[in-house]
């Protein structure tokens, strides 16, 4: 979709302040700096860094950025208006804001009369004075102001006249942006649209009339401040509400990466940016930067130590995954049949998912993605499909364990490379009385290159001990195993009604520092299931290494 100069939107990221208010999310100073620099690279023009003075971490964060500034983005300090019945010039928290050294400051003030009288316990007139005094003081110190009208939509619906007076106060005092906040997240898109349109109409009338803004002063602002939107997701409407505001004329969109935020979260920039840019024709970031969106989403989730939402729109691992056989067949012919955009536009990729619901087209497409060409006219492809369905009926899950499926295909084709053979293993556990630590000892017997190897190793649990023993036995033959890590281990009980005799599925994720892969094991014995997954994880890692070495020889 084409864009024009009037379609420029300003993105404002508040992951480092609003996003960190999510329950269970905590970041260090180093984490905040890494995220800020990644957002800068993504092309976000405004990055809210936190509330200087609220905690030592935020103070240090702003100091660090003064020493080593961002390349492109404006880092923004965040703060409230001054307290009631004081002056901004004597307000200690505003001195911390000035010390942060940012050019832009976001000040939030009360729009809802309920919050003024109940929360602040002051008068409506004093709240207007607090807005004016705070903005005027910061402007006098050379700062540029974004005014966040907190609880704007609730305040407007309960007392429109007073809510508009708070905006008049911010305008007259020198705010350059008026950001309307749906702080409680309870407003619907049609209300957002109507109210934003009303605010834009009223502020234009103020500007054309050169009125005294209702507080006894002529405006120093020229042109009029522009409108922004800040939405929360308590009604699952944050993205829709932000888009509705933009369609109504808002020019700034505030949100967080992955929608992190207090309670149900904030508007998700990973959904907003592609929707606004690819579908609505607005200019947010460059096309090259847009292709970094998926990587940025996963980077932030990794830094904050939260599992990424695999089903997130645009950036989720499943966003362009196709499972049904009819879907796969159609997508193979023309991706438009089941994809609303090209996944590469947001840095994602198409995936063909393998499961018991798969058709032959899934198997053929998945095989091609791993460099394996199958002939649908030959029996091997249908044998793979049949074997897949049989194993999934037993509890295996190959859509989450593609490495195991690759090994299954090689076995069906008769070319599965046997790097080693496990002849047997034993695991012994000791529970030390009075301690919660369980020591485990695993012994494995392995055949490698015609030699039988017997090896033992300890671990803090039976799976760790088994993994250590296998590596110890193999590393002299395959030194690259030293670079393999077991990065995740998941257990799922498949038929809990059978109690301790239940069948267990184990997923093991492994990595070599460059790639990650997942393998699966299923058994009524959790150790046997773990053994299957761990052994196949090592085998697949060796297969990757073997293929990489072969590719190097071919290229040289």
Which sequence spans correspond to the domains of the chain? 8-303, 321-393, 420-477, 483-556
Query: Is it true that 420-477 and 483-556 share their CATH fold?
Result: yes
Q: Is 526 in contact with 534 (CB distance < 8 Å)?
A: no
> pTM (2 decimals)?
0.71
CA end-to-end span of the chain:
44
Residue 324: band (very low, low, confident or very high) from pLDDT cuts 50, 70, 90:
low
Q: Is 108 in contact with 115 (CB distance < 8 Å)?
A: no
Residue 550 pLDDT more than 90?
A: no
Max CA distance (Å), the chain? 94
Question: What topology does CATH give the domain 420-477?
Answer: Double Stranded RNA Binding Domain (3.30.160)
Residue 2: band (very low, low, confident or very high) from pLDDT cuts 50, 70, 90:
very low
Mean pLDDT of 528-543: 93
Residue 335: band (very low, low, confident or very high) from pLDDT cuts 50, 70, 90:
confident
pLDDT digits (tens, 9 = 90+) for 222-281: 457 999 999 999 999 999 999 999 999 999 999 999 999 999 999 999 999 999 999 999
Q: What is the pLDDT of residue 219?
A: 41
Task: Spell out the CATH class of 483-556.
Answer: alpha beta
Q: For the beta carbon of residue 62, count every other beta carbon within 10 angstroms.
A: 21
Give 188-220 as a 3 state SS string: CHHHHHHHHHHHHHHHHHHHHHCCCCCCCCCCC
Q: Is 362 in contact with 388 (CB distance < 8 Å)?
A: no
Q: What is the pLDDT of residue 499?
A: 61
pLDDT digits (tens, 9 = 90+) for 374-404: 776 667 777 877 787 788 778 787 766 888 8
445's tokens = 């017997």
Q: What is the pLDDT of residue 78?
A: 98
Give 157-170 as a 3 state SS string: HHCHHHHHHHHHHH
Mean pLDDT of 408-419: 87
- Indicate the CATH number for domain 8-303: 3.20.20.70
pLDDT digits (tens, 9 = 90+) for 145-167: 999 999 999 999 999 999 999 99
389's tokens = 């369905």
Q: In this structure, is the dihedral angle defined by the CA atoms of residues 337, 341, 345 and 350, taken in order, positive or negative?
A: negative
Q: What is the pLDDT of residue 412?
A: 82
């Amino acid at each position: 979709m084409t864009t024009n100069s009037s379609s420029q939107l300003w993105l404002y990221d508040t992951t480092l302040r609003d996003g960190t208010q999510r329950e269970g999310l905590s970041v260090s100073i180093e984490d905040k700096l890494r995220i800020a620099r990644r957002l800068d690279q993504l092309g976000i023009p405004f990055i809210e860094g936190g509330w200087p003075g609220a905690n030592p971490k935020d103070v240090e964060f702003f100091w660090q950025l003064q020493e080593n500034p961002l390349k492109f983005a404006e880092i923004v300090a965040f703060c409230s208006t001054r307290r009631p019945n004081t002056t901004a010039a004597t307000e200690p928290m505003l001195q911390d804001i000035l010390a942060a050294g940012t050019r832009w400051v976001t000040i939030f003030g009360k729009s809802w009369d309920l919050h003024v009288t109940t929360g602040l316990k002051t008068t409506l007139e004093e709240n207007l004075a607090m807005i004016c005094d705070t903005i005027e003081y910061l402007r006098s110190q050379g700062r540029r102001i974004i005014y966040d009208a907190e609880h704007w939509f609730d305040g407007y619906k309960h007392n429109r006249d007073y809510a508009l007076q708070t905006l008049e106060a911010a305008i007259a005092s020198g705010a350059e942006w008026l950001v309307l906040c749906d702080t409680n997240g309870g407003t619907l898109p049609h209300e957002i649209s109507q109210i934003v349109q009303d605010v834009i109409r009223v502020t234009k009338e103020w500007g054309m009339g050169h009125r005294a803004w209702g507080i006894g002063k002529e405006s120093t602002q020229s042109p009029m401040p522009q409108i922004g939107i800040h939405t929360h997701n308590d009604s699952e409407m944050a993205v829709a509400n932000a888009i509705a505001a933009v369609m109504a004329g808002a020019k700034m969109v505030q949100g967080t990466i992955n929608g992190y935020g207090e309670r149900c979260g904030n508007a998700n920039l990973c959904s907003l940016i592609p929707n606004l840019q690819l579908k609505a024709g607005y200019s947010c970031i460059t096309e090259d930067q847009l292709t970094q969106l998926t990587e940025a989403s996963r980077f932030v989730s990794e830094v904050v130590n939260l599992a990424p939402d695999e089903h997130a729109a645009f950036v989720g691992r499943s966003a362009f995954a196709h499972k049904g056989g009819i879907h796969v067949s159609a997508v193979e012919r023309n991706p438009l049949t089941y994809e609303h955009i090209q996944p590469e536009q947001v840095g994602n990729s198409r995936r063909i998912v393998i499961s018991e619901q798969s058709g032959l087209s899934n198997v053929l497409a998945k095989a091609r993605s791993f460099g394996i060409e199958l002939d649908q006219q030959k029996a091997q492809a249908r044998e793979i499909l049949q074997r897949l369905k049989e194993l999934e009926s037993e509890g295996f899950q190959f859509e989450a364990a593609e490495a195991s499926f690759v090994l299954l295909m090689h076995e069906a084709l008769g070319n599965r490379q046997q790097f080693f053979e496990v002849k047997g293993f034993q695991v012994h556990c000791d529970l030390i009385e009075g301690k919660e630590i369980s020591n485990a000892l695993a012994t494995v017997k392995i055949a490698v290159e015609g030699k039988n190897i017997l090896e033992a190793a300890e671990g803090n649990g039976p799976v760790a001990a088994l993994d250590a023993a296998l590596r110890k036995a193999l590393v002299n033959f395959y030194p690259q195993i030293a670079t393999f890590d077991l990065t995740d281990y998941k257990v799922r009980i498949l038929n809990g009604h059978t109690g301790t005799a239940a069948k267990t599925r184990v997923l093991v994720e492994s990595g070599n520092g460059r790639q990650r892969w997942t393998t699966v094991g299923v058994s009524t014995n959790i150790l046997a299931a773990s053994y299957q997954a761990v052994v196949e994880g090592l085998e697949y890692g060796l297969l990757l290494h073997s293929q990489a070495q072969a590719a190097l020889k071919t290229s040289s």
